[in-house]
């Protein structure tokens, strides 16, 4: 992608009240801190801005929405087309008597905290999910025995053609870590059910979830969420452990020694290091158990140079 091509693309985009940047580096916005640029990164001001922008956008141009990039590998070659990232205009949280309405850019943990302060129970699990509400809906995120599918009433989605729809939970095709959103659709808002509860009890549960994550997951490392989906009736981390992959490294990427269903950037990893390490883990698990692990982390963009061989370090180098 040359500078001329980038300028040509951004010059042909429709106007919006938000911001658009050519050749925008995505690595600083991702939890892994790796990856190439977005050809154009768009931050619409609000729902109406997003609808008008997508309606006027050439229909063949690829559009990819991202959230907090907590469960995402942006490949080193960057992302062609338009990347949409929702910001302040999509972060509103509104409390209701039996639930909560949250903008797609609201952090999951913030929604859980608002519910707790209002004495609304049933959404504590959101405090254990890194990322935003939009991403949580798009992947039917879950943790600690609950998931989005079990608590969601509806989600508002802006389609690729710029139409805003309110879809009931039954229309979204939610299954384990999966949804069936319209192609190019962007979640902008969602409503979750909750029940009256004791604020102190709810806050205690959130504190327990945080303490458990801190004790068992590499939350202070440059990492993403769980790397692979749990196969039916199995735990991905147990399969990875049994295949001898705990601590396995490739370039600057490593399988966490704290929780081996997490990959971490130890400081100098490329996206190719991280993705290549994940593929090596999949290969070793397949050879050891016959189980084909499926990625839970999304991988987007154009691959860069191939990663080098994987090795098992002699000592912990996780930070």
37-72: string of b/e by CB count within 10 Å (b at 16+)? bbbbbbbbbbbebbbbbbeebeeebebbbbbbbbbb
Return the DSSP state at 133: H
Token pair recorded at residue 252: 């600057």
Statement: residue 36 has pLDDT above 70: yes
Q: Of the ranges 38-52, 126-140, 171-185, which one carries the lowest mean pLDDT score?
A: 171-185
Token pair recorded at residue 148: 């989005």
Statement: residue 88 has pLDDT above 90: no
Residue 145: CB atoms within 10 Å: 8
Rounded mean pLDDT, 272-288: 97
Statement: residue 7 has pLDDT above 60: no
Length of the chain: 319
Statement: residue 319 has pLDDT above 60: no
Statement: residue 56 has pLDDT above 90: yes
Rounded mean pLDDT, 168-178: 93
Determine the pLDDT at residue 182.
Answer: 84
Residue 151: CB atoms within 10 Å: 20
The mean pLDDT value of the chain amounts to 93
Determine the pLDDT at residue 49.
Answer: 97
Statement: residue 308 has pLDDT above 90: no
Determine the pLDDT at residue 5.
Answer: 46
- Lay out the sheet containing 79-85: strands in order across: 19-25, 37-43, 79-85, 63-66
pLDDT band at 310 (very low <50, low <70, confident <90, very high): confident
164 φψ region: left (φ > 0), alpha (ψ -120 to 50), beta (else): beta
pTM (two decimals): 0.90
Statement: residue 27 has pLDDT above 90: yes
Active site residues: 177, 226, 296
Rounded mean pLDDT, 132-150: 95
Contact 226, 279 (CB under 8 A): no
The rounded distance, in Å, linking the Cα atoms of 94 and 111 is: 9
Rounded mean pLDDT, 115-142: 96
Determine the pLDDT at residue 14.
Answer: 95
How confident is the model over 260-269, as pLDDT tens digits? 999 999 999 9
């Amino acid at each position: 992608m040359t500078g001329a091509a980038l300028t040509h693309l951004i010059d042909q985009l429709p106007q919006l009240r938000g911001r658009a940047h050519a050749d925008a580096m995505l690595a600083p916005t991702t939890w892994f801190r790796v990856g190439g640029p977005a050809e154009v990164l768009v931050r619409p001001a609000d729902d109406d801005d997003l609808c008008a922008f997508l309606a006027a956008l050439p229909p063949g141009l690829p559009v990819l929405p991202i959230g907090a990039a907590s469960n995402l590998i942006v490949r080193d070659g960057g992302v062609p087309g338009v990347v949409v990232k929702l910001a302040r205009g999509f972060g509103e949280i509104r409390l209701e008597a039996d639930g909560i309405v949250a903008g797609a850019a609201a952090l999951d943990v913030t929604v859980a905290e608002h519910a707790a302060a209002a004495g609304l129970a049933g959404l504590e699990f959101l405090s254990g999910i890194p990322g935003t509400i939009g991403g949580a809906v798009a992947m039917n995120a879950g943790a600690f025995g609950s998931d989005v599918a079990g608590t969601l009433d509806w989600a508002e989605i802006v389609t690729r053609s710029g139409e805003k729809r309110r879809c009931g939970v039954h229309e979204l095709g939610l299954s384990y870590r999966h949804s069936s959103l319209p192609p190019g659709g962007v979640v902008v808002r969602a409503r979750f059910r909750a029940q009256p509860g004791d604020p102190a009890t709810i806050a205690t549960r959130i504190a327990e979830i945080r303490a458990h994550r801190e004790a068992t997951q590499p939350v202070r490392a440059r990492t993403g969420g769980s790397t692979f989906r749990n196969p039916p009736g199995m735990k991905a981390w147990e399969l990875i452990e049994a295949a001898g992959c705990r601590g396995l490294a490739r370039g600057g990427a490593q399988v966490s020694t704290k929780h081996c269903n997490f990959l971490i950037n130890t400081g100098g990893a490329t996206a190719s290091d991280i993705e290549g390490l994940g593929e090596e883990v999949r290969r070793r698990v397949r050879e050891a158990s016959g189980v084909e692990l499926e990625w839970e982390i999304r991988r987007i963009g154009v691959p860069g140079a191939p990663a080098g061989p994987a090795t098992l370090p002699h000592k912990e180098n996780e930070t």
